[in-house]
Structure 1
């Protein structure tokens, strides 16, 4: 039987080195030998997310939330609640997501202090405003979150909020301003100031924004940067599917349709593994477009139908 202490240390070291599967394996072993504390549950949860074990990720986040409460760390518990809400919302489980957002809000109000978590709680409001087309409200919420992140010196919060502002401005056809904000967010990402989870989120959002703004040069530049970031972490599953999808888009623009189709198929597999229905639908739609360009209309129609099942019309 493995020594749980050495497994725990091995897991922490693997996490620090971004060897996500090694970290997940070692920390899981240590957890089975004796329940992990709140901080190490955070590491295990993040590792599970990075290797695409999303059901387990959510379960671990819930355990970490309660562990932080038991340890007298309510604001750390708030962050777990927020991640639970965001990920449940992505999966379409809006009732459960709202419950976790409400729990986070109540904990912050109970603490009654000025804290950076207030800024994190604005992120779901900004994203929800963007999705329902209330762009002014979304921009305002993201701007307030960015200001809180800057005041507390929290690079994760500041960067993700500025990138949401950029996406909203592109949605509003204020493209030049939006791209400037996305470039500002990428300065922090490429400087290594942002944690891995938020790095992946911002990369994917920025590339999607560049594509929406019809700026292929920027999209190509940031897609190559994302690919390098993924390649530096060979055990990474999260974000790798969307990276492949973006690469397929670049290949399609350059007329390399067969190679693009192979990338899009792999992207679909990775996105499904990461339980990201929106990204899966986009990868399937991309396959349909590539089949259509190559004259295989029957395969294209099948891919479009599959994409529709994941919400991509």
Structure 2
């Protein structure tokens, strides 16, 4: 086939969005002889869409050089913009900055044109990185104006994305999230180049994660999955899609599928950013931790850390599961220090610190952490943050002996988690409610909450040690009150002591610190007028709190 015929066929396929035929056709035409710059640009776009990323980048570079030779600065600048976006998104900051500088220079002396809107994207990114959210919002609105003037969907989507992120950063999530939704709608409905669609999707999902907006994340993850299923697996952003999908599945309680999706993403490193690989490893670790596979979880967390991802709060919670209270407290404390000044990043860590601090007998730390989380939730107003804050506050109130106040707060948290369809969080909140009802003397309600929680945890595949206190022993209406003013937790400690466990073994079994176990024992001895573990064990046998040993 003559070069002209091959180019005509490739151009026709490109116009019909038959990307594989276009890519193959342009490659054949290029082998037969020189091609114009526009055809190199078309080859680059087709190669991108069929997953030949290295070839696409080389073709964009060739197009840039040929546009320069043809004295066509505008399309040359557009090739430079796409190369800059790719390298910046993939962490190649110096290369991306160089291409960005070329795009600015090429357009500096041009009359007003649509191409001048694209370099603004880098101004937005720079301002967001510096925390200059007002400046970023101004740049983004200017980008949108140019996009609307010229009817350019890419400019409009990128501008909406930038303004949405800036407004969220300013604490105006209610204003920013609808703009991000509109950017996503534009990206998926207007046939944008995948580099822009991918950037919009990943930014929106990152914001959903920061805000704990599980409902929005799930909706857009489904949309992106349908859209990406027709794109070859080697296309950039596919790994990020998998990570975001794994995160949503984990929050929905589908820990097995979440782990498989995350491990798939981690095992497919071609054209995937290091930070995405690290996040995939972290998500795989979380899925394993929740299912009780501590060895695999630790390995995934270690590998994530090697790639630069601080494996928190997962690693701290793993240490809590292992009964290593001091290590858990130190890990979560260090993670919070590292995120000083970043309210949303700290908000992801506070629920773990509250849980760990209460288990370690440190109510002051738990109280301060819950208060900061509540303030962040009030600022950003997202449903996920408000649910986390309510659960944390309820746990602290319960620990402070304020069961009346804890009841209303935890009932609100349970309702919010149910609305978010977060079954694990619902179950954990129900366990706290069971303790509240016991403290208030409502044993029927305590039994119902405990039974519902344990049924759900069993269904999720949570390991037995992660099911909190055992279900109430004899069901509603048949459970005898604990003698001599013992609390349910004190009875648990006494039961383990009667079985011959040391303080360390009791702490591991009940996920408490040894200091907390010692405090419980001191309270037990004081209430019962006892002075030894042997006497405490005899009391437990006598009052039916533990079964005496056989033989």
Identify which range, 280-289 or 53-62, moves more after superposition: 53-62
Could you tell me which residue of structure 1 aligns to residue 290 of structure 2?
293
1:1-313 maps to which residues of 2 (within 5 A)? 4-111=3-110, 113-192=111-190, 194-233=192-231, 237-270=235-268, 272-313=269-310
Residue pair 1:52, 1:274 contacting (<8 A) in 2 also? no
Paired residues, number: 310
* Counterpart Cα distance in 1 of 2:305 and 2:14: 37
Shift of 1:123: 0.3
Identify which range, 159-168 or 198-207, moves more after superposition: 198-207
Secondary structure at the aligned position of 2:109 is classed as helix
Structure 1 residues 93 and 184: alpha-carbon distance in aligned structure 2, compared to 1, 3 A threshold:
closer
Shift of 1:6: 4.9
Shift of 1:167: 1.9
* Counterpart Cα distance in 2 of 1:240 and 1:10: 30
Q: Give the number of the structure whose residues are more often helix, by fraction.
A: 1
Secondary structure at the aligned position of 1:110 is classed as coil
* Counterpart Cα distance in 1 of 2:205 and 2:259: 19
Shift of 1:235: 7.0
Residue pair 2:255, 2:287 contacting (<8 A) in 1 also? yes
Secondary structure at the aligned position of 1:126 is classed as helix
Residue pair 1:200, 1:239 contacting (<8 A) in 2 also? yes
- TM-score normalised by L of structure 1: 0.88
Identify which range, 4-13 or 180-189, moves more after superposition: 4-13
Residue pair 2:50, 2:232 contacting (<8 A) in 1 also? no
Shift of 1:156: 0.8
Unaligned runs of 5+ in 1: none
CA RMSD of aligned residues (A): 2.5
Secondary structure at the aligned position of 2:108 is classed as helix
Residues 144-169 of structure 1 show CA distances to partners (whole Å, capped at 9, x for unaligned) of 21122122221110111101211222
Shift of 1:175: 1.2
Could you tell me which residue of structure 1 aligns to residue 418 of structure 2?
none
* Counterpart Cα distance in 2 of 1:265 and 1:164: 31
Shift of 1:63: 0.8
Residue pair 2:127, 2:133 contacting (<8 A) in 1 also? yes
Name the structure, 1 or 2, with higher relative contact order (CA <8 Å, separation 6+). 1
Shift of 1:32: 2.0
* Counterpart Cα distance in 2 of 1:11 and 1:174: 48
- TM-score normalised by L of structure 2: 0.52
* Counterpart Cα distance in 2 of 1:124 and 1:40: 27
Higher gyration radius (CA): 2
Residue pair 1:251, 1:257 contacting (<8 A) in 2 also? yes
Unaligned runs of 5+ in 2: 311-551
